[in-house]
Amino acid sequence: MESADEMEADVAAKPRPSELACIQPGSYLLELSLDWIVLRASENVHHLLSESHVTLIDEPLESFVRAQTLHDIRNLFSRLSGTLGVARAYRVRLTDDPDLVDIAFQLSDGRVLLEAVPSPESGVGEAFGTVGGLIAGLGDSSGQSLLDGGCRRMRALTGYDRVTLTIGDRRAESTRGAFASAADPADLPMIVADANAAGVPLFPRDEEESSVGDALMRAPSREQQDKLGADGIRAILRVPFDSNGSSGEFCCESRTPREPNFEVHAAAELFAQLFAMRLQIDSLKG
C-alpha cells in the first residue's frame, strides 16, 4: 500500500488538465497509425463521427467513415508521402450526416494527423481566386516597398486586423487600428481561433508518444493564452516561408475570434510561397 507521501508524489507527477495535449474547440483531431488505425482522438470527436472517443481507439478508421470518402483521402495522402507538407480536402462528408467538414492531414513522426473543422457555408474558393491578382500587384515593388506591399496584400487576403512580416532582420507591418504590442509567434499553433477558449483533451490522456505538437489546431498553452490576451489578440494565423535560405513569416492577428478556415490558411501559404519568389527576384536585381 502506498504511503501518503508516495500518493502525493504520484499526483504531482501526473499532468494537470491545462498541461494535457489538447486541441482547440471547434476542431477535431485523430492521430492514426500508418495503416489508419485510430491511436488517439479528441474527446469531442463524437460530434464529428457520432462515436465516443473511447470506442474509436485501436479500431480502423474505415469502421467509422464512409468508404468512398476514406478512399479519396488515402489517395490524396499517398501523394503527400515523403513530404513535410499538409494536405487539405474541402467540403468532405465523412459520415451519413449531412454536415460537411474541411480536412487537413500530415505525416508526423510516423503517424498521420487528421484534423477537421466545419466547412464555411459560403465563400468557398474565393481565397484561392484572389492570390494571383494580389501577387501580380507586387510586380513593380522592390526593397522595403515590396515587404510593405506583401503585408497589405496578406491582410487583404486573410481579413485579419494586423499582419507582421519578418524575414531575417527585415520587418514590415500592415495594421487596422492600434494593438498593445506585436505577438511573438514562436511556438504558437499555426491557427488560433480564439485565444480565450479552453482546449479539448485528447484520449488516451496519458499517452506520452504523440505528434499533436505538429497539429495546425493544437491548443495554445496557458502562458501563451495569457500573453495573447495581454496584447489584445484573440486570433492568430501563422504563415512561415523560406526565401534564399532565410526563414520568414507572416503573422496575422485579430482582435476578435475567427472561425478556423483551412482554405484561407492554404491560400495564405500559397501567397507566401509566391511572395518568396518575388523576394528572390528582387534580390537578383540588387
HSE on the CB side for 33, CA within 13 Å?
Answer: 10
Query: Which residue, chain included where needed, has cell 524575414?
Result: 167
Between CA 36 and CA 212 the distance in angstroms is: 16
Domain boundary among 61, 88, 118: 118
pLDDT at residue 48, rounded to an integer: 95
Is the same domain home to 179 and 47? Answer: no
Q: What is the pLDDT of residue 207?
A: 61
Verify that 111 and 134 share a domain, yes or no: no
Higher-pLDDT residue of 269 and 7 is 269
4-40 tens-digit pLDDT: 454 444 434 444 444 568 999 999 999 999 999 999 9
In-domain check, residue 3: no
Average pLDDT over residues 281-286: 78
The pLDDT, as a whole number, for residue 9 is 44
Assigned domain for 139 exists: yes
Domain termination residue (choose one: 95, 118, 141) = 118
pLDDT > 70? residue 280 = yes
* Domain extent for 171: 126-195+233-285
| Residue 90 shares a structural domain with residue 37 | yes
Residue with cell 491511436: 39
Residues 142 and 103 in one domain: no
Q: Domain boundary at 62, 97, 118, which?
A: 118
| pLDDT tens for each residue of 104-158 | 989 888 899 999 999 988 767 788 889 999 999 998 889 999 999 999 999 999 9
What would the pLDDT profile of 203-233 be if each residue is shown by its tens digit?
997 766 677 889 999 999 999 999 998 888 9
102 belongs to a structural domain = yes
In a domain, 54, yes or no: yes
Classify the C-alpha dihedral 225-191-40-28 as positive or negative. Answer: positive
Residue 41 corresponds to which cell in the numbers above?
482522438
User: pTM for this one?
Assistant: 0.86
Residue at 29 is within a domain: yes
State yes or no: pLDDT of 3 exceeds 80: no
Same domain, 147 and 277: yes
Whether 146 and 277 map to the same domain: the answer is yes
More confident residue, 253 or 6: 253
Q: Which pLDDT score, from 0 to 100, does residue 115 have? A: 97
Name every residue whose Cβ is closer than 8 Å to that of residue 22 and which is 6 or more positions away in sequence.
Answer: 199, 200, 201, 202, 218, 219
33: CATH: 3.30.450.20
Residue among 39, 64, 44, 220 at smallest CA distance from 116 = 44
Q: Percent of the chain beyond pLDDT 70? A: 88
> Does residue 175 share a domain with residue 268?
yes
Tens of pLDDT, residue by residue over 169-190, are: 899 999 998 777 766 777 899 9
Three cell numbers written together for 15: 499532468
Residue 83 has pLDDT above 60, yes or no: no
